[in-house]
Amino acid sequence: MTTATAHAKEATVEDALLRSIRIPPRPSLLVDLQAELAEDDPSPRRIARIIGNDVGMSGALLKLANSPFFGAARKAKSVEQAINFLGLNQCAALLTGLLARQAIDGGGGDLNQFWDTSARRAESLVFIARRLRIAPSDIAHTFGLFCDIGVPLLMDRFADYGDTLALAGSDMGRSFTEVEDARHSTNHTAIGCLLARNWGLSPDVSWAILHHHDYAVLDDDATDDAIRSLVAASVLAERGIARYHGNRDSLEWEKGGEPACRHLGLDAGEAEDLLEELHDTFHIDH
C-alpha cells in the first residue's frame, strides 16, 4: 500500500468516526443572535426581542446576569436591561453557554456536575483574563464553557469513555489527548473544536479548545499569542478549581504549569498569589 493510499484510508476512517459522533447543530436562536451581532450597529432592543422569543432562555439569562459573579450594582429586570448592564458580547457569551447545555443535556440533569465545573472554569478564566489583561471577558467566558464540551459527546458515543478519562487523568508519560487518541482515534479537544467551528464561535475559542492539552504550543511563536494566552490561563484555572475541591496535586499542572506561567510572565510567587485571589472569588460568588 502506498503512503498516499494509506493516508486516504486513514482519512476515510476518521471521517466515518466523526459522522458517528453526534455534534448538535447550531441552534436557530444562536444563528439569529450572531446575525444581529454581525451588523454594523447591532441593536440591544432587537437582540432582546430575539432572546425573548424563548421564555426559558430569557429567564436563565436573567438569573445568570444577576448572579453575584457579575457584581452588578443594579438587578436587571428584563433581558434588555441585562444587555445594557453587561454588554452585548457578554450576554451573547452567556446565552451561547445556555444553548450548549440545552442542546447537549436536553435538561435531563445527568450532566449537572459537568456543567457546574464548566461554569466554574468560565468564571475562573474571566477572572484571570481581566487580571492579566490577556483576552476580552466574553472570549474567556466562552472558552471556559466550551473547553471540555467534547467530553459529553464522547461519553455518548463510547461506552468505555469514562475509563479513558480516568486513564488520561493519571498518565504522566502521555498527554491527555494522546491517551484518548490511542483508545478512540479521536479526542475531546478535536470534537470540541469541531462543535465550536460549526456553531460559529470565535476562531480564538475554537483553536484554544483544540490546543488546551497541547502545552508545547505555549512555547510555539508560530501560534497566535491570543490562543496561547487562553491555553495558559486554562492551566491556571484548572489548578485553582482543583485546589478549591481539596486536590493539592494536579497532573495537568505538573505537565503544563511551568510553560503556562512562563508564557503569562508570572513567577512562582505571582502565580500563587493569583491562585489565592481566585480561590477567594470562589467563596464570594457561591
pLDDT in tens, 241-281: 988 888 777 889 999 999 999 999 999 999 999 999 998 88
pLDDT in tens, 215-240: 999 999 999 999 999 999 999 999 99
* Whether pLDDT at 133 is above 90: yes
Instruction: Provide the pLDDT for residue 286.
Output: 47
CA 18 – CA 22 distance, rounded (Å):
8
Domains and CATH numbers, the chain: 24-106 (no CATH), 110-285 (1.10.3210.10)
pTM for this predicted structure: 0.90
- Residues 112-139, mean pLDDT to the nearest whole number: 94
Instruction: Provide the pLDDT for residue 179.
Output: 98
pLDDT grade for 78, boundaries at 50, 70 and 90:
very high
CB atoms within 10 A of CB 251: 15
- Residues 49-73, mean pLDDT to the nearest whole number: 86
Instruction: Provide the pLDDT for residue 69.
Output: 78
Residue-wise DSSP of the chain: --HHHHHHHHHHHHHHHHHTS--PPPPHHHHHHHHHHTSSS--HHHHHHHHHTSHHHHHHHHHHHTSGGG--SS---SHHHHHHHH-HHHHHHHHHHHHHHHHHHTT--TTHHHHHHHHHHHHHHHHHHHHHT-S-HHHHHHHHHHTTTHHHHHHHH-TTHHHHHHHHTT-SSS-HHHHHHHHHSS-HHHHHHHHHHHTT--HHHHHHHHHTT-GGGGG-TTS-HHHHHHHHHHHHHHHHHHHHTT----HHHHHHHHHHHHHHT--HHHHHHHHHHHHHHHHHH-
CA 235 – CA 283 distance, rounded (Å):
20
Cβ density class 201-221: b for 16+ within 10 Å, e for less = bbebbbbbbbbbbbbebbeee
pLDDT grade for 71, boundaries at 50, 70 and 90:
low
- Residues 184-212, mean pLDDT to the nearest whole number: 96
pLDDT in tens, 13-54: 667 777 789 899 999 999 999 999 999 999 999 999 999 999
Instruction: Provide the pLDDT for residue 109.
Output: 65
Instruction: Provide the pLDDT for residue 110.
Output: 77
CB 233 within 8 A of CB 132: yes
Q: Which residue has the higher pLDDT, 178 or 109?
A: 178
- Residues 143-162, mean pLDDT to the nearest whole number: 96
CA contacts within 13 A on the Cβ side of 172: 4
Instruction: Provide the pLDDT for residue 2.
Output: 53
* Whether pLDDT at 9 is above 80: no
Instruction: Provide the pLDDT for residue 6.
Output: 47
Of the candidate ranges 18-22, 98-102, 159-163, 266-270, the one whose mean pLDDT is the lowest = 18-22
